[in-house]
Each structure stands twice: as C-alpha cells, then as structure tokens.
Amino acid sequence: MRLFVAVEIPPEVQEKLAEVRGASRDSAWRWVAAGNVHLTLKFLGETEEGLVTRIKEALAEVCGPFAPHDLGLTGLGTLPPSRPPAEGDRRPPRPPRVLYAGLDRGTVELRRFSLGVEGALAALGFQKERRLFTPHATLARVRKDQRPRDAAELLGRFEGKSFGAWRCGGAVLFQSELGPGGSRYTKLGEFPFGV
C-alpha cells in the first residue's frame, strides 16, 4: 500500500486553485486532478498493510493535543525555485519540476504538527525527513523530459493572489493508487485535532 499523511483543502479553495490550471495552455504540466490537491505532511511510500492500524493509533495520539488553526494559500512558486542566476553564475537556470501554491498563514503551527507526525511515525520505523518541512499545495508536475514555457507567466499572473483560507481541524491518512489517469486517493482514516 502506498500511503501518505495530509491536510485536506476544502472544495471552495480547490475551486480557486483550479483557476491556475485554466490559465495555462502548456502541455508540459501534468496537473493534479481537481479535488485531489492537498498539503502533504508525510509521505510514507510502500507500507505493509499490517502497519496501518499502528499508524492510525500513532496519528490519533499526535493529533489529540493540537488545536484547530487557520491555514491560507496565496501565490505560486516552483521547485526548484525560479530565480535569476547569481552574478557570475554561467550555469543555465534549472527548469521547474513542480508548480505549487504557498501557505501564507498557519505555517508555524503546521511545522510543529509535522514534527509530531515525524516523531510518531519514526517510532514505527519510518525514516525522518531531514529537510525543513515547507508546507505547500502541489498543483502540477512537469512531464518527463519536458520544460514548461509558461512558468514565469503563471508566477506573475498569480503573484499575491489569495486562493482562500480555512480552519484546519486535523489530518488524514490516504492510500494512493497510481493509474493511467493519474493517482486515486482513498481515505483510510481521519484524525481530528483536540480530541
């Protein structure tokens, strides 16, 4: 089973995020299916089915002490980041691989929560992430061996644009199944804060 832990994004915010897809005519992007955009907290990868119960117990324990908090998405970014080369740097700029909407509120709370998730799942044998958790909502990935031509245009067009805010009340454990039409996500458990 291919699993990940995430925060869901409500439908009204998903609708606003869909404007980005509608603004692009570049076939280099492979867009995340409508309604599937989320904030990934921890990607677990291929996991034995026998661990699912223990993962759910760990997530319920981590979520209990956390209070609901506000989250909001504003503007776009790319990974690797789009930036002009430093003076004297002759290397060509790296093309983007991912287009995302950035979090503009709730980052501190979500980072604290992600550390709790990391710790709880490390106790079950999952490797801890070494990089600083940077919450973002992936909207599209670049198709293999292609370069998007409209990345800079999209970043400029949606600079500072608010896609909306919501009250985050917990996390979800998802199973991801890869198919020809993209990934299909199934909820295996919901874990509310403050319970």
Assigned domain for 88 exists: no
The pLDDT value given to residue 81: 80
Assigned domain for 101 exists: yes
Q: Is the pTM of this model over 0.85?
A: yes
Assigned domain for 54 exists: yes
The pLDDT value given to residue 86: 65
Q: Whole-angstrom Cα distance, residue 174 to residue 189?
A: 7
Assigned domain for 67 exists: yes
CATH of the domain at 30: 3.90.1140.10
The pLDDT value given to residue 172: 98
Assigned domain for 61 exists: yes
- The structural domain count of the chain equals 1
Q: Whole-angstrom Cα distance, residue 154 to residue 143?
A: 17
Q: Whole-angstrom Cα distance, residue 139 to residue 17?
A: 8
Identify the domain containing residue 24 by its residue range: 2-82+93-192
Assigned domain for 87 exists: no
How big is the chain by its Cα radius of gyration, in Å?
A: 18
User: In this structure, what are the phi and psi dihedrals at residue 176, rounded to the nearest 5 degrees?
Assistant: -110, 125
List the single range of 14-18, 38-42, 51-55, 88-92 with lowest mean pLDDT.
88-92
pLDDT tens figures, 50-96: 999 999 999 999 999 999 999 999 999 999 886 655 677 676 667 89
Tokens representing residue 31 in the block: 């867009």
The residue written with tokens 């060509």 in the block is 92
171 secondary structure, DSSP code: E
Assigned domain for 132 exists: yes
